[in-house]
């Protein structure tokens, strides 16, 4: 039998439906792969082999009785530990939520279970989704399954960042220890990790997936999405995740299109925009070459390439790092040691001392940094100078995209300015770390659908991703352009197993 862990969503779902193998066999294979790999990769905070097996047994029983199967029937997935899972610890990779076991299920995870998926466990991430390298987790760094190689085939063997904040998700999908995983994206946290690990990931239009039951970072930016082996699997999983939810006031009351059925790599008549502002001074040569390759592939698929301008791009990163921390400082105020999670109560302490001690012990340095920035920009005397100005810039960035989409249908850029860097390489300089989001943040500020697809390897043998941005609600256009790149790039590289 084929190694079942090499199969993605579509192959597992179809194989289970045809009876080529059982869902229980699939779950057993993936549970074993997780148990073998996790001590080295640290991709999971909590493993739930029993959940995966129970879901698989339900699928096998339904098939035996001739009942219709769900679109993800028999597919074992990883759940980013930002989604509340009933009866299973949910920590947001922070000590302040250690011991928190939700008595409810997030809307997105419930939709996935209803579709027939099973949970292999809760995936590691940057604490409260704040980070670009998965080095801020209270439960240790996630290690990318990829290693760099020199021209002679030998590498430096340094542990590489899997990207962030969805680093556990990207590492697990890339290492083939899950068939797919959920991610969340506030400023690039699905797309940048996908690029670093050679997988596909899509952030849908803001509001497409419910935020109810997801630990909040920046509420006007956070959006859930799938991370999977390829574009088709992303489309199938996104269909299951998306949909209106009355419990989320920002949820889009729109029907969910059949994206997977509408997939095509024929882009005749499509116009692809290439924004000149993304050609940064000193752009990495391998990244620039992969962008040029992407342009050629889209032309080959029938698309017309158009030069465009997004003039306010250079202000996107500073605006984001005002707006996101401001919203975080408000959202994280609820972690006070009173109702759930960590409580640090020094002898003789009053309420204020308990708040201070709990937050000091529970939040990590990066979370504290962003809370301080956010509280500062929202304070009297600085609100108009920083927060109000950043919101105005956000409006200008959204308007740039509106103007561009009068000329073009999708926009192509690199996903990240470099391939995966070594762990520890950028952690001493927060500003250098924040620059990882330079290509992904503008689409987040505008609430647009955006996707990363693997484009090839750099000279060190590390994956590079290409980034597609679409009109609001046009996930189909983004997925189709992604499919066109995927088929022409022919990316089949996998990390050599060392774990």
Q: What CA–CA distance (Å, rounded) separates 24 from 491? A: 30
- The encoded tokens of residue 259 equal 């994206």
Q: Is 165 a catalytic residue?
A: yes
368 phi/psi in degrees, rounded to 5: -60, -40
Residues 6+ apart with CB under 8 A from 4: 12, 21, 25, 26, 29, 30
The most distant pair of C-alpha atoms in the chain lies apart, rounded to whole Å, by 72
The long-range contacts involving 101-107, CB below 8 angstroms and separated by at least 24 positions, are 102/213, 104/213, 105/213, 106/210, 106/212, 106/213, 106/214, 107/210, 107/212, 107/213, 107/245, 107/247, 107/248
- The encoded tokens of residue 102 equal 């939700």
Instruction: Kindly report whether the peptide bond that precedes residue 492 is cis, defined as omega within 30 degrees of 0.
Output: no
Distance, C-alpha 289 to centroid of its chain: 25
- Write b or e for each residue in 268-300: b if 16 or more Cβ atoms lie within 10 A of its Cβ, otherwise e: eebbbbbbebbebeeebebbeebbebbbebbee
Q: Is 189 a catalytic residue?
A: yes
- Please pick, among 133, 165, 169, 174, the residue that the annotation labels catalytic: 165
- Please pick, among 80, 122, 203, 426, the residue that the annotation labels catalytic: 80
Q: Is 249 a catalytic residue?
A: no
- Please pick, among 94, 132, 133, 189, the residue that the annotation labels catalytic: 189
Task: Indicate which residues carry an active-site annotation.
Answer: 80, 165, 189
């Amino acid at each position: 039998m084929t190694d079942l862990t090499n199969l993605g969503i579509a192959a597992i779902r179809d194989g289970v439906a045809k009876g080529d193998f059982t869902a229980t066999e699939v779950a057993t294979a993936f549970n074993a792969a997780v148990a073998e790999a996790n001590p080295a990769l640290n991709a999971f905070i909590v493993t739930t082999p029993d959940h995966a097996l129970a879901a698989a047994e339900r699928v096998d029983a339904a098939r035996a009785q001739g009942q219709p199967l769900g679109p993800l029937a028999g597919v074992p997935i990883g759940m980013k530990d930002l989604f509340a899972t009933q009866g299973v610890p949910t920590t947001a990779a922070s000590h302040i939520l250690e011991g928190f076991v939700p008595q409810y299920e997030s809307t997105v995870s419930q939709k996935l279970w209803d579709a027939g998926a099973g949970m292999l466990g809760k995936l590691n991430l940057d604490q409260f989704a704040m980070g670009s390298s998965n080095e801020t987790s209270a439960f240790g760094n996630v290690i990318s399954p990829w290693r760099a190689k020199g021209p002679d085939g030998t590498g430096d063997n340094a542990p590489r960042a899997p990207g962030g904040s969805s680093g556990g998700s990207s590492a697990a999908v890339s290492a083939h220890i899950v068939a797919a995983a959920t991610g969340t994206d506030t400023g690039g946290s699905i797309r940048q990790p996908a690029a670093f690990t050679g997988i596909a990931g899509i952030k849908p239009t803001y509001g497409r997936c419910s935020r109810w039951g997801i630990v909040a970072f920046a509420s006007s930016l956070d959006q859930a999405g799938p991370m999977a082996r390829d574009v088709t699997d992303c489309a199938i999983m996104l269909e299951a995740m998306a949909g209106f939810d009355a419990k989320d006031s920002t949820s889009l009351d729109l029907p969910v299109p059949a994206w997977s059925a509408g997939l095509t790599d024929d882009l005749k008549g499509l116009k692809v925009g290439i924004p000149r502002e993304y050609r940064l001074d000193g752009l990495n040569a391998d990244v620039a070459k992969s962008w040029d390759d992407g342009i050629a592939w889209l032309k080959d698929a029938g698309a017309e390439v158009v030069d465009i301008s997004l003039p306010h791009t250079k202000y996107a990163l500073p605006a984001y790092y005002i707006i996101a921390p401001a919203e975080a400082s408000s959202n994280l105020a609820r972690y006070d040691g009173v109702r759930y999670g960590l409580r640090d109560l020094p002898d003789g302490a009053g309420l204020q001392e308990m708040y201070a001690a709990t937050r000091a012990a529970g939040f990590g340095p990066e979370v504290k940094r962003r809370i301080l920035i956010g509280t500062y920009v929202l304070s009297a005397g600085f609100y108009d100078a920083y927060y109000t100005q950043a919101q105005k810039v956000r409006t200008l960035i959204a308007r740039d995209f509106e103007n561009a989409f009068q000329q073009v249908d999708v926009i192509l850029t690199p996903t990240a300015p470099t391939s995966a860097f070594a762990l520890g390489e950028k952690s001493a300089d927060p500003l250098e770390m924040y620059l990882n989001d330079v290509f992904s943040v503008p689409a987040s500020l505008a609430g647009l659908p955006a996707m990363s697809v693997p484009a090839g390897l750099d000279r060190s043998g590390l994956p590079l991703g290409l980034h597609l941005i679409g009109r609001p609600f046009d996930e189909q256009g983004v997925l189709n352009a992604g499919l066109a790149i995927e088929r022409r790039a022919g990316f089949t590289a996998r990390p050599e197993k060392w774990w």
